A and B are shown apart, each in its own frame.
Chain A
C-alpha cells in the first residue's frame, strides 16, 4: 500500500521528466555520452588516460563501471552513441532519449532510498518527505534538464542514512563506501561517518571494539579494492588520482556557488576599490573570477590568496563542532542532520564548489524537516534558496518559465504540506479538549461540531502553525527583487554594462541564506540534547 502510493508519487514525477526530455541540456550531456564511448570502446587500462575529447573521465571507478553497464544498452540502441571518434558531440534523438531515460530509470535508486528511509514514519510525514524528495525541483533542474545522475547517487546516500538510522552501522558504512567510489565529492561527510562509526559501532570493550573495527575496515577496504583494484593492477592508479582531483581549477566555478568565498571576493574588491579612492596604487589582478577556469596566479588584490589546503582546513574547522558532538553523543536519529551539516560545510568553504552541490544537504534534510515546526521553517527557506541558486544553470529563454514554475510549485506544496502537518498535530489535541469541556452546552450535533472544529483549528494554526517570521518573509521577497532586477531592469536600465552584476547579486544573496542555514544547523546539532 505504502509502496503503491510512493510509486504514484514517482510516477507523476516521471511523466514530468519524460516531458522534459527535449529541454536544454548542458555540456554535461556530452560529457556523459563521451564516458559511455570511452568505457565501451577502450580497455579498462586506458579509461583514465584517454584524451580524445576534453571531457576526460574524472569520476571514480564505480561510476565508470556504471557507464560501462549503460553503454551495453547504448550500443544496442544506436552504436554511434558509443563511438569514440564519430560520436563526438552526437546529438541525435536516439542519444538524447537513451541518456535521458537512463537518468529517469536510475532514479529508481532514489525511490528505493526514500522508501527505506521513510518506512518507519507516520503516513502524513511520509507523504511530505516524498513530495520534498521525489518532486524536488533541484533534482528536476540538475538531473533532468541540465543532465547529471544525482538522483541515482542520492539514492545510495539515503540508503546509507536509512541503515545508520536503524542502527545497522556496518551496512550503512558499506553503502557510504560504495557511494564514495561513485562520486568522490561525497567524501566531505567522510569525517562524520568515520567518527560516528568509530564511536557508535566500534567503541566499547577492547576485544569487541577491535573485532568490529577490523570488520568495518575490511568492508571498506574490500569496496575500495573492488573499485580501484583493476587500476592498480594495470598500474594506472596515479593517473586515476590525478584525473579525480584536478586542483588546477580555481577557487570558484564560472558561476560563483553561493558560499563563503563570494563574501571573501567581494570584501577584497571592496577594499581595493576604497584604497584606490584614497590614492593607493593597487594593480588589477590578471586572473578574473568571472572568466571560468582560473590559473595559478592570485586573483585577489589585497587579501591573501586561498589555496586548496586553506579551504581544506576551513572545512575541517567548520566540521569540528559536529565531529565532537558525534563523538560525545552518537545518536542514530541525528545522523541525517550530521551528514547534511557536513555537506553544508563542504559547500560553504570548499574548493571549486558547484552550485549543484547544495542538493547534497537539501535532499537529506528533507527527512529532518518533518521532525519539528522549527525544522520545517528552516527547510522552507533553505530549499527555496537552494533551488533559486540553481537558476543560472538554465539560462535559455525556453526553460525560464519551467524553472520559475518548478520553484513556485515547490514553494506552494511545501507551504501546504507544512501548514497541514503542523496545524493538524496541534488542532486535534486542542479540539478534543475543547469539545469535552463545551459538549454539555452543545445541543446541535454534527454541523455545530464541525464548524467548531474548523474554527478552533484555524485559531491554533494562527498561534502555533506554519508561519514564517518577518525576516524570513522579507528575505524571500528579496529573492523576487533580485530576480526581477537581474532579469528585467538590469538589461533595460544598464544595457550591456556590468553583465556580471545580476549573477553576482544572485550568488551573494543566496550565500546569505545558505550561511544562515549553516549557522542554524550547527545550533540545532549542538543544542539538541539527549
Chain B
C-alpha cells in the first residue's frame, strides 16, 4: 500500500514538475526536436538582423569588412590559387589583401562561385570594387547564413548532445533548451556575423565541434577540427616569431590533450598520433603553397600584420587600457612590444595550462578554454574588439555552470563593441538583440531566473567558501545594479552627446576602462574557479580512496 502511495506521489511530483515547467511542451520530444525549434528561431533572428546595414556601407573608398570579404571572393574566383596571397598587377594587396589563412580563402572561393551564378558583376575582377546592390547584399548575407547553418548549428547540436550525455540526470529537461538558446542566440556573435559582416561562425563552429569531440573522448577528430578552426581565422598574430600561428584556444587544447596523453599507457605514441593528425591537417589545408619555401612564407607573412601596432581603436585589453598611463607605443619599439605581449600572454596562460596538465578533466578543459582565451584577449598583440567573441564561446558552453557570469560578460562584451556597432549603424539591432538575450536568460522557470531568485546553481558543487564570497560580492544585486545603471547612462551619453573637442575619444576610453576592469576580474575569477575545481576533485578522490 505504501508503495502505491509513494508511486502516486512520484507521478504527481513528475506532473507537478511538468506543470511547473512552462517549457515542457518544448522539451517533451527530446533534445533534437527542441534543438530544431530553437534553431529555426535563431535562424529567423539572424535573417532579421541581416536586414540591417553592414560595416562600411556607402563609405568609399575603403568601405569595411563586408567589402573585404567580397573582395576576397573576387580575388579567389578570378585568380589561380598561387596568386591569392601575392601582390601583383591584378591583386593589389594594399586594398583588402587576403590576410587570413587558406581555409578562409577556400571558403571565399566557394561563396564567390555562389555569387557569380546569381550576380556575376558583384564579383567581377576590378570592376566590382565597392560593389553594392540589393541582390549583392542579400547573397552575401545568405552565404553567412548558410555557413552558420552548415557549421555552427550542427556543432551546437553535437556539443549539447555530448555535454548533456555526460551530465545525464542532472537538472531539468528544459535547462537543455535554455542552454541551446544561450549558445545559439548570443547577441555578440549574431551582431558581428550577420550585422557587421564576418564569418566567425565558421571558426567558432569548428572550435565548438572540436570541444564537443574532446568531451566525447574523440581526441583525434578533435585535433583535426581545431586545426581547421585555426586555419580559418588566426584572430591574432605574430606571437611566436617562427611559428606564426596561434589562437586563443590553443593553450587549452594543447594542455588538455597533452595532459591526457601523459596519463595514457603509452604517452609517446599518443603524442605522436596527435602530432601526425595536426601536421596532416595543416599539410592538406596548405597544400597549394607547400611546393616551395617562398610560397609558404609568402602566405605566412601575409597573415602577420607586422606593420600594425600593439592595439587599434579602443579595445578593452591590457595594453590599450594601460596606455592611458604608460605610452607603450612611444616608449618601446614594435618588436619589443611583441616580446612583451608574448611573455604576458604565456605567463597568464600558464596557471590554467598547468592545472590541465596536472589534472585534465572535461570541466577543467572548458574553464581552460575560457582562461586561455581571456589571457589572449587581454594581453596579446593586435587585438580587435570582436575578439571578445572567443572568451564568450566557452562561457556560453558553461552557461549552466556559470549563468550569472554569462549574463554579466555578455553585457560587457556587448558594451565593449558598442562604439564599433554604432559606427555600423546597428544600434537598433544592438538594442533588440540585447533585450532578446536578457529575456531568454530570464525565461520563466529557466535557470537564469531561478539562480537569481534564491538558490544558486553553484551550491550543488559545494564550491569553496572563498569562491562563494567572491561571487556573492560580484553578483550582489547592488553591485550589478550600479554597474547596469552606469552602463545604461554611458550608452545614452554615447548616443546623444558629443565629446569635448579636446578629448574626442573620451567616451570610448571610459567604456574601455569599465569593460577592462570587468574582464580582468573575470579572468581572476575563472582562474580561481579552475584551480578550485582540481582541489575539489583531488579531495574527493582522497575521500574515495579512504573509503
B532 within 8 A of A: no
Judge whether B11 and A432 touch: CB under 8 Å: yes
Q: State in angstroms the CA–CA spacing of A397 and B137 once bound together.
A: 11
Judge whether B49 and A127 touch: CB under 8 Å: no
Q: State in angstroms the CA–CA spacing of A192 and B6 once bound together.
A: 53
Question: Which chain B positions have C-beta within 8 A of A517?
Answer: none
User: CB-nearest residue of chain A relative to B37?
Assistant: A412
Contact among B11, B37, B135, B433 with A431 in the assembled complex (CB-CB below 8 Å): B11
Q: State in angstroms the CA–CA spacing of A124 and B25 once bound together.
A: 9
Judge whether B439 and A428 touch: CB under 8 Å: no
Shortest distance between the CB of A389 and any CB in chain B (Å): 20
Judge whether B444 and A20 touch: CB under 8 Å: no
User: CB-nearest residue of chain B relative to A123?
Assistant: B19
Given A8-B444, A18-B428, A20-B51, the answer on whether A416 and B8 have CB atoms closer than 8 Å is no
Contact among B11, B431, B443 with A449 in the assembled complex (CB-CB below 8 Å): B11
* Chief secondary structure at chain B's binding surface: helix
| Residue count of chain B within 8 Å CB distance of chain A | 48
User: CB-nearest residue of chain B relative to A127?
Assistant: B22
Contact among A123, A397, A408 with B40 in the assembled complex (CB-CB below 8 Å): A408
Contact among B24, B40, B49, B436 with A409 in the assembled complex (CB-CB below 8 Å): B40
Most buried by B among A22, A97, A397: A22
Q: State in angstroms the CA–CA spacing of A401 and B134 once bound together.
A: 15
A376-418 contacts to B, CB under 8 A, are 397-398, 401-402, 405-406, 408-409, 412-413, 416-417
Given A413-B37, A416-B37, the answer on whether A19 and B135 have CB atoms closer than 8 Å is no
Stretch at the interface among A275-283, A435-443, A505-513: A435-443
Question: Which chain A positions have C-beta within 8 A of B44?
Answer: 16, 402, 405-406, 409
Q: State in angstroms the CA–CA spacing of A15 and B44 once bound together.
A: 12
Judge whether B25 and A421 touch: CB under 8 Å: yes
Judge whether A11 and B48 touch: CB under 8 Å: no
A187 within 8 A of B: no
Judge whether A22 and B444 touch: CB under 8 Å: no
Contact among B14, B29, B435 with A453 in the assembled complex (CB-CB below 8 Å): B14
A4 within 8 A of B: yes
B485 within 8 A of A: no
Shortest distance between the CB of B407 and any CB in chain A (Å): 16
Given A22-B52, A439-B7, the answer on whether A124 and B444 have CB atoms closer than 8 Å is no
Judge whether A432 and B444 touch: CB under 8 Å: no
Shortest distance between the CB of A141 and any CB in chain B (Å): 12
User: CB-nearest residue of chain B relative to A423?
Assistant: B28
B3 within 8 A of A: yes
Judge whether B41 and A127 touch: CB under 8 Å: no
B47 within 8 A of A: yes
Judge whether B43 and A19 touch: CB under 8 Å: no
A420 within 8 A of B: yes
B4 within 8 A of A: yes
Contact among A16, A431, A436 with B48 in the assembled complex (CB-CB below 8 Å): A16
Q: State in angstroms the CA–CA spacing of A445 and B13 once bound together.
A: 14
A424 within 8 A of B: yes
Judge whether A449 and B10 touch: CB under 8 Å: yes
B296 within 8 A of A: no
Q: State in angstroms the CA–CA spacing of A398 and B142 once bound together.
A: 10
User: CB-nearest residue of chain A relative to B18?
Assistant: A424
Question: Which chain A positions have C-beta within 8 A of B436?
Answer: 12, 15-16
Chain A proximity mask over B20-43: 1 for CB below 8 Å, otherwise 0: 001011101100011011001101
B272 within 8 A of A: no
B515 within 8 A of A: no
User: CB-nearest residue of chain B relative to A409?
Assistant: B40
A23 within 8 A of B: yes
B15 within 8 A of A: yes
Question: Which chain A positions have C-beta within 8 A of B14?
Answer: 450, 453
Question: Which chain A positions have C-beta within 8 A of B47?
Answer: 401-402, 405
Judge whether A435 and B11 touch: CB under 8 Å: yes
Q: State in angstroms the CA–CA spacing of A416 and B44 once bound together.
A: 18
Question: Which chain A positions have C-beta within 8 A of B4?
Answer: 435-436, 439
Q: State in angstroms the CA–CA spacing of A428 and B24 once bound together.
A: 14
A219 within 8 A of B: no
Judge whether B37 and A409 touch: CB under 8 Å: yes
Question: Which chain B positions have C-beta within 8 A of A497?
Answer: none
B274 within 8 A of A: no
B432 within 8 A of A: yes
Q: State in angstroms the CA–CA spacing of A14 and B433 once bound together.
A: 11
Question: Which chain A positions have C-beta within 8 A of B7?
Answer: 435-436, 439, 442, 449
Shortest distance between the CB of B71 and any CB in chain A (Å): 23
A5 within 8 A of B: yes
Shortest distance between the CB of A455 and any CB in chain B (Å): 13
Question: Which chain A positions have C-beta within 8 A of B432?
Answer: 15-16, 18-19
Judge whether A23 and B33 touch: CB under 8 Å: no
Q: State in angstroms the CA–CA spacing of A420 and B28 once bound together.
A: 7
User: CB-nearest residue of chain A relative to B1?
Assistant: A439
Q: State in angstroms the CA–CA spacing of A64 and B428 once bound together.
A: 30
Judge whether A432 and B25 touch: CB under 8 Å: no
Shortest distance between the CB of B82 and any CB in chain A (Å): 36
A482 within 8 A of B: no
Question: Which chain B positions have C-beta within 8 A of A416?
Answer: 25-26, 28-29, 33-34, 37
Chain B proximity mask over A442-457: 1 for CB below 8 Å, otherwise 0: 1001100110010000
Judge whether A4 and B40 touch: CB under 8 Å: no
Question: Which chain B positions have C-beta within 8 A of A445?
Answer: 6
Q: State in angstroms the CA–CA spacing of A500 and B37 once bound together.
A: 34
B354 within 8 A of A: no
B138 within 8 A of A: yes
Q: State in angstroms the CA–CA spacing of A12 and B441 once bound together.
A: 11
Chain B proximity mask over A1-28: 1 for CB below 8 Å, otherwise 0: 0001100100110111011111100000
B474 within 8 A of A: no
Shortest distance between the CB of A407 and any CB in chain B (Å): 10
Q: State in angstroms the CA–CA spacing of A368 and B3 once bound together.
A: 41
User: CB-nearest residue of chain B relative to A448?
Assistant: B7
Judge whether A442 and B37 touch: CB under 8 Å: no
Judge whether A405 and B43 touch: CB under 8 Å: yes
Q: State in angstroms the CA–CA spacing of A413 and B24 once bound together.
A: 12
Given A16-B45, A127-B22, A402-B44, the answer on whether A4 and B435 have CB atoms closer than 8 Å is no
B400 within 8 A of A: no
Judge whether A446 and B443 touch: CB under 8 Å: no
User: CB-nearest residue of chain B relative to A12?
Assistant: B439
Shortest distance between the CB of B47 and any CB in chain A (Å): 5
Shortest distance between the CB of A20 and any CB in chain B (Å): 6
Judge whether B439 and A11 touch: CB under 8 Å: yes
Question: Which chain B positions have C-beta within 8 A of A8?
Answer: 439, 442-444
Shortest distance between the CB of A459 and any CB in chain B (Å): 15
Q: State in angstroms the CA–CA spacing of A446 and B52 once bound together.
A: 52
Judge whether B49 and A19 touch: CB under 8 Å: yes
Question: Which chain A positions have C-beta within 8 A of B22?
Answer: 5, 123, 127
B209 within 8 A of A: no
Q: State in angstroms the CA–CA spacing of A412 and B38 once bound together.
A: 10
Q: State in angstroms the CA–CA spacing of A417 and B7 once bound together.
A: 27
Contact among B8, B10, B25, B444 with A4 in the assembled complex (CB-CB below 8 Å): B444
- Beyond A19-B45, A123-B22, 4 additional contacts (C-beta under 8 Å) are A15-B439, A19-B48, A409-B37, A420-B25
Chain A interface residues (CB < 8 Å from chain B): 4-5, 8, 11-12, 14-16, 18-23, 97, 123-124, 127-128, 397-398, 401-402, 405-406, 408-409, 412-413, 416-417, 419-421, 423-424, 428, 431-432, 435-436, 439-440, 442, 445-446, 449-450, 453
A-B contact pairs, 23 of them (CB 8 A): A11-B435, A12-B440, A18-B428, A19-B49, A20-B51, A21-B428, A22-B52, A23-B48, A127-B22, A128-B25, A402-B48, A405-B47, A408-B40, A412-B36, A416-B25, A416-B34, A416-B37, A417-B25, A420-B24, A420-B28, A423-B28, A424-B24, A436-B7
Chain B interface residues (CB < 8 Å from chain A): 3-4, 6-8, 10-11, 14-15, 18-19, 22, 24-26, 28-29, 33-34, 36-37, 40-41, 43-45, 47-49, 51-52, 134-135, 138, 142, 145, 428-429, 431-433, 435-436, 439-440, 442-444
Nearest 7 pairs of A and B residues by beta carbon:
A420-B25, A19-B48, A18-B432, A15-B436, A405-B44, A22-B51, A15-B432
